[in-house]
Amino acid sequence: MTTPDSPRPRRSGLRGFGHDGPSPWTDLERPPLDERALRLDLLRPGALWTSLDVVSETGSTNADLAARAQDGAPEGAVLVAESQQAGRGRLDRRWSAPPRSGLFLSVLLRPQGVPVERYGWLPILIGTAVSATLDRIAGLRTGLKWPNDLQTDVDGRERKLGGILTELSGGAVVAGLGLNVSLRADELPVPTATSLALAGAETTDRQTLLRAVLREFADLYGEWTAAAGDPHASGLLPAYTARCTTLNRPVRVQLPGERELLGQAVAVDGDGRLVVRTPDGVRHPVSAGDVVHVRPQD
């Protein structure tokens, strides 16, 4: 935890809420996060979270925390941006959103006692934690398109609420989350996206949501690391499959190298791979690819 005598976290490239930056009150429907209150709630002795910083603007919270990881920053750092100008998703897709319209954050993890080959479960773990939190706190039924796209139904159609990106840096895992909270219809980046507000969530209070997400993740992460990252022993695999909207339906998987796989998604295996059964009955484990849920008319 940061103390008055501790060096301040490096904020190169970050803009705080000083007089030179934009006012956080330009949109009263989107109040700024209360950094001090979040620290009081989450930074406790023995807890996972060891530091928490909220900045008004940055390029990418993942890139900023990756730099700290290279410098040897300890596990449990949380960096939240009110505005992120160079956010990245899976397959290096770029996106941005209006200030304070969502939760844009990254966390730094150094899983003790977990083999590196099991680190691939971390984005799935984060997705499971966020989905469970939204069901409980926002009263919104959500699911996860493999591997970790957060989804909900709006007018009978699946719409994306957010996504997760993890990367290795300095022996640590930096995990980023982008969640659309108060985006309006004319602010959506693509027609297939939505926000908690548009989906009818019971709350869009970012302070409440962020606190709950970090607590839920800390609990699941503790169980996972205690089981040395084993997805069965920790209960992560069944918890994820119960929320995975991809299972038991026809899919089209766009694979690296412009290849395509058509079939039925039948399982998620012990390595977190999606198992697709093609019409000839062969099962294909997929570790990377862009999944499209095929509707009957497609």
How far apart are alpha carbons 278 and 55 in whole angstroms?
47
Final residue in a domain of this structure, among 207, 223, 241: 241
* Residues 195, 289 within the same domain: no
The residue from 204, 223, 241 where one domain ends is: 241
pLDDT value at position 28?
A: 74
Residues 235 and 264 in one domain: no
- Whole-model pTM: value is 0.88
Peptide bond into 147 cis (omega under 30): yes
Do 259 and 211 share a domain, yes or no? no
Clarify whether residues 205 and 287 are in a common domain.
Answer: no
pLDDT number for residue 93: 55
51 and 84 within one domain: yes
Burial of 89 (0-12, 13-18, 19+ CB in 10 A): middle
Domain containing 286 equals 249-293
Say whether both 253 and 176 belong to one domain: no
- Asked, for residue 90, whether it belongs to a domain, the answer is yes
* Nearest to 43, CA basis, from 53, 56, 33: 53
In a domain, residue 22? The reply is: no
Do 50 and 80 lie in one domain? The reply is: yes
Q: Do 157 and 47 reside in the same domain of the chain?
A: yes
One domain for residues 195 and 114 = yes
Same domain, 85 and 185: yes
pLDDT tens string, the chain, 298 residues long: the values are: 334 344 433 333 444 444 344 555 556 789 999 999 999 999 999 999 999 999 999 999 999 999 999 999 999 999 999 999 865 555 455 556 899 999 999 999 999 999 999 999 999 999 999 999 999 999 999 999 999 999 999 999 999 999 999 999 989 999 999 999 999 999 999 999 999 999 999 999 999 999 999 999 999 999 999 999 999 999 999 999 999 999 999 999 999 888 999 999 999 999 999 999 999 999 999 999 999 999 865 5
65 with 100, same domain? yes
pLDDT of res. 1: 39
Within a domain: 75: yes
118 lies in a domain? yes
In a domain, 167, yes or no: yes
Residue at 14 is within a domain: no
81 and 114, same domain (yes or no): yes
Which positions ≥6 away from 187 have C-beta within 8 Å? 97, 98, 101
Structural domain contains residue 19: no
Structural domain total, the chain = 2
So what's the pLDDT on residue 27?
64
In a domain, 193, yes or no: yes
CATH for 287: 2.30.30.100
Q: Which of 200, 217, 241 is the last residue of a domain?
A: 241
Domain with residue 142: its CATH number is 3.30.930.10
